[in-house]
Each structure stands twice: as C-alpha cells, then as structure tokens.
Structure 1
C-alpha cells in the first residue's frame, strides 16, 4: 500500500511541483493538497495521511501553528519546506520544536547537484519519516514506559531477545540504573543528522554549566542554519553553545557546533586544542561531516573521548567512530525506537563499534553519570 501524503502550500506552482515528484515514486501517493494551515489541520484529521509536507509562511494559519495543532489532535510525521535565510532558519527550528520531524529547502537546487538527485532526496525523506507514523500515534507516547527504557550493552542484545521470547514480559519495565565506567575523558563528541536539532536540544538543555570538558557537535545542516541553531541552543542551555570558528580554543562547558557547508577539525593537543574550520570539499557528501570531526578527535584525544551517534539518515560517523574505537574511546548509539531515522546509529551498532544503545530521553542522564556529575 502506498504511503499517503498531504501537500500543504499556498503556492499552486509549488504544490504541483511537489505532488509530481512524490507521485513519480510508486511507493508514494499524494491524496490531497491544502492551501493554508487551517485547511491542513482539517484535512489531517479527516484524511489521516501518513506524511504531511508543510510550508511555513501561509495565509489564514502559518505552518508552525498548523504543526502544533496537528501534533496535538492527530500526530503525523511532518516535513517542512523552508527558505535558506536567517529568518527561515529560525522559523524552521520553531517548526521542529513544535513537532515537525525534518525539513528541506524550497529551492531544491540548494540541496542537490542536479534535478534527479533532488527528486530522489525528497522521495527518500518522505519514505523515511513515514516509518515513524505508527510510533507517533501511540497513546500517551511521551509518558508511557517502553522497552527502550531498559539499556543493555550491544553484545547482550541477542541473548536478551531470546530470553524475552521464552518468558512473559514484565508489565512495566524498570529503567536501568547507570554506572560509570571509570574512564577519564577530555572531550565529548556528538554527530547527528535527520531529527538531530530536537535530539541535541533535549540532551544539551539537561547538562549543567560545570560540564567538565568541551563538546563538539556535528549536525548536518545548511550554512545559513547553523548560526541560528547555535544561538537558539545557547539561550536554552546552561552550558555555552556557539557556532565554531576557526581558531576557537576548546574550553570546558562550551559546545562548538560545526558550521554548515564546511568541515570542523580539532588540532593541537589535549588542554591546548583548537578548532580548525576548512573548506567543505567538493567530493564530500556531508558538509559538515561527522567522520571528519570524529577522526580528528581520535588523533588529538585518543581514548579520552566520550562520543555518540544520534538519529540520522545514512552512515556518516561510522568510520570516524571506528577510528575513535581503535584509539580506545567510548562510542554510544541512540536506540532505534527514539530515532527519527535509524540510519547513522544503526551503522555504528551493526559494525560492532558502539557499546551501548540509549533512548534519547536518557542520554543526558547517562552522560552525567559517566563524567562523574551524577
């Protein structure tokens, strides 16, 4: 059965363009269109689409308000379309905060080298976020305990699954109490993509101002978005968050967000390390790239890195995480159930690189235990 899509935009040209792209993929079907946010809310209730594509600026009701109302009444995976401007970035981040799962720029040429690549990217994003529909429609999703509240080392998953199948499951699983490994760290490194803005906000807002070492963040995001995102996080967090600049000295309690369109590397030695910002590179698929930052962290900090790979499409971070693991560093992965897209974390988990699967709502807690703050 095809994935049902509701296309929402006040531009007849853009509605037609998006509809043609979606309908050209056999697994997708546009079941209707809406010309403003109010109409989108009504059609979301009536038609129950699997995915909604949503414009931000519309008459009658804007896209952000529509997202809030849809998520309150009939939660549905929503893909936002945004302009690549500073104001567009702020509005898109507001939409993600309201419950949208992902975004793409309205000018497809800004995200792809040619039309075929842009068409494929839009189709794949819709297919990927459609997979979250059943999860989003569960009753009392945010408060109900789930099996992901139990964190197990990756090596014990198969045994746990076997045991689970042969015995009756507990009615209310107990959350595991974390224990620190005893390792000493000098850097935290986090890589993410689709679903990352919300995931990073959830984690970083739980960290105290006295977090004991620097944090480097790599989020796949356009160049015009990273400054706005860093600024937003900085207003919400107790730690300082900034868009990384070339020459920044890494300081404890500060998170450095890799600038979009470029690569962020670490240079120097522990205690006197600096950020290097270099050209994104024509051959690189991701700008910024998690592999690049993780790889440089492995060379400078060795086993003194606490790293994690969060929700995202693709496998960026796997090779950088492999380098960190070879140096003795710690690598965790976000668990499948709490990911918007279980691509990047799955890549490191399947390769046997990560040592723990963690649900998003417990990652900050786990970090604080590991670094001795809880």
Structure 2
C-alpha cells in the first residue's frame, strides 16, 4: 500500500483529494494536515510514502513547508497543489526548486464536486504511483545503449525533452552550459500555460544563454533557447534556408500538449544527422518515438540516468529501446554536451 498524507487548509480540498486517493485500492490516506507546521509534524510521525501539499496556507505556507520536509525526508515525494495563475505558477516553480517533486493544478474550472474529482483523479493518481515507484527502486537494471555507427556530422541543434523533475534538471543543464555554446536549443517541458512563461524567465536568469518562450515564426538562432509554450506543440520548419519555430494546437500526443515527440520528429526532418537530442527525467514515454526518428536519421541521443532522475520514465523508455547513445548522471550532462559540440568525429 502507498501511504499518503494530504495537506491543505481547505476542508473541501482535503476531502476531495482524500477521496481521490482512497478510491484507488493501492493507496491509503494515513492522515491530513491543515498547514505547513502541521504537515512537518505529521510527516515525522506518520512517515508517509507521498504527500500532497497546498501552496498557500496559514502559519507556514507550502514553500516553507516543502523546504523543511525535503530536508528531513529527502526521499519523500511531495506533489504541490497550485492555481493556474501567475502567482500560483511562480510559487509552484519556487516549490519545485525547494524540493517538491511535481505539481497538480487545482480544479478551478470544475462545475461540480464529481467533476472536480474526475479532474484531480486523472492528474494525481498517475503521479503518485510513478513517484512512489521511482523511490522504491533500489537498483535500476543496467541501461541498454546502442552501438552507434561513427558519427562524423557536427551537431547543428540541441533538442531537449523533459517532464516530472524536469524544471530542476533543465535548470541545472542550462546553467552549466558555457556562454560559447554554439547551437540553437529547443525545449519541450510538460507544463501548462502561464507556467511556461514564468519558467522561461527563471531559466533566463540562471543560464548564460538567452532563454525565452517560443513564439510562432521565431527564427532559430545559435546560443538561444526556445521553450515550448503551454498548450502548444513546438515544431521546426525550414524555408529558404531559414529555420523557424512553429506552434500549433494539434492533437495531444502521449496525453500531452506540448509533447516532445513532435519537436524531435520535426528537428530530425529539418537537421537530419545534425540533431543532438537530450531526454531528461519525466513520467511516461513521450520522446521515445521522436528519439527513434532522430536515430534513424543519424542523430545522437543522450539520456539522464535512473539514479539522478526523479522519474526514469521518459529517459528509461528511450534507453530500454536501445536508442540511447549515452546514459549520464545529471552533473555530467552539460560538460558532455559542450564536449560534443567541440568534436567533429563522435562515437
């Protein structure tokens, strides 16, 4: 059984979240808390496997609580509950920096309690199970890697895919790339509108490269990072020798929009063997089929390893399919990317 602790100052939301969790036969709600101080005390006593945590609460809010809880219980997954507003996005991104594992949006658009239950159930249960399963893995199976044909094409573009745990991992990679990194960088991070705008601003502050949210028609330039905006797929197209970003609200892929597969496929079509693909931590398998196209076109794929991933879903799917040329711990990724850019012959 997965033991869950629910933390929210709203009695209605505590009941809603508890009902959603208790509806799954694999999950037991072992307690509830009404604010951050109560959450810290009950986490110490109850030792849950997962915690849901509100952002705005009296006495001690979610930002302060998650920082203390992650210090005391570093392997406890904490899922933030946030509003889809600028204030909610900013607080949630800060909570992720403070140690939270993921977040779920509050069902503000629900028309009934039953509707709200369905919305939260669809978003929360997969995250709870994936995060707890990741923490319970003692030793990951040795990753499969392809034995690539020697690559003699200098990389022309870096495309990055990430989801759960991605904000922290992506921040680490982009902060450590050198200012001389001479490739355009395109990123798909599973994230809703408003959140991506705030996230791009945060990344721009920590990275020596210029980072911004992509706009339809943006010219893709070296040394610049374009982030897919929430609810839009980001793709690449080339016309008259100029590569541009295109945005669309086509069907969701892997239940996501933005999804990584459209970006990876289009990059492979535009740049061929010049694609350098990085798949970071994330739940699910988005990026798998896109990575397959990248490899088929002669590009190179690097994935984050299981030990440093919050959830080894996306990178694990690529690795287990034999599509990863390299499987690296997070601290080694930026130096390796920089080294690959300086090499003409790779492999």
TM-score between the two structures when normalised by the length of structure 2: 0.90
Cα deviation, residue 25, structure 1:
0.8
Deviations, residues 237-274 of structure 1 (Å, cap 9, x unaligned): 11110000111111111110001101111111696211
Residue of structure 2 in register with 1:279 after alignment = 249
- Residue 84 (structure 1) aligns with: 84
What secondary structure is seen at the aligned counterpart in 1 of 2:242?
coil
- Structure 1 residue 342: Cα displacement: 1.4
Q: CA RMSD in A?
A: 2.5
Separation in structure 1 between the aligned mates of residue 250 and residue 13 of structure 2, nearest angstrom? 30
TM-superposed deviation, 1:312: 1.2
2:300 is equivalent to residue 330 of structure 1: yes
Offset at residue 313 of structure 1 (A): 1.4
Identify if the C-alpha distance between structure 1 residues 153 and 33 changes in structure 2 by more than 3 Å, giving closer, same or farther: closer
> 1:141: which partner in 2?
none
User: What is the correspondence of 1:1-374 to structure 2 with a 5 Å cutoff?
Assistant: 2-75=1-74, 76-107=76-107, 116=118, 118-133=120-135, 154-155=145-146, 183-268=153-238, 272-281=242-251, 285-372=255-342
Aligned residues: 336
1:281-338 per-residue CA deviation (whole Å, 9 max, x = no partner) reads: 3677211111101111011100001101111111111111111111100011211221
State which drifts further: 183-192 or 121-130.
121-130
SS of equivalent residue, structure 1 residue 104: strand
Conserved 8 A contact 1:182-1:370 = no
After TM superposition, give the deviation of residue 279 of structure 1 in Å: 2.0
State how far apart, in whole Å, the 2-side matches of 1:13 and 1:314 are.
30
* 2: CA distance, partners of 1:282 / 1:357: 28
Partner-residue secondary structure (3-state), 1:223: coil
* Cα distance in 1, alignment partners of residues 136 and 266 from structure 2: 39
Please give the alpha-carbon distance, in whole angstroms, between the structure 2 residues aligned to 1:155 and 1:279.
34
Alpha-carbon distance in 1 for matches of 2:144, 2:153: 17
Give the direction of change, closer, same or farther, for the CA distance of 1:342–1:42 in structure 2 (3 Å limit): same
Secondary structure of the residue aligned to 1:302 is: helix
TM-score by length of 1: 0.84
Counterparts of 1:152 and 1:284, CA distance in 2: 23
CA shift, 1:345, in A, is 1.2
- Corresponding residue SS for 1:131: helix
- Is the 8 Å Cα contact of residues 270 and 301 (structure 1) preserved in structure 2? no
The offset of 1:118, in angstroms, is: 4.2
State which drifts further: 293-302 or 113-122. Answer: 113-122
C-alpha distance after superposition, 1:172-227 (max 9, x if no partner): xxxxxxxx976401100001111111110011000122211100000010012100
| Contact 1:109–1:115, Cα closer than 8 Å, also in 2 | no
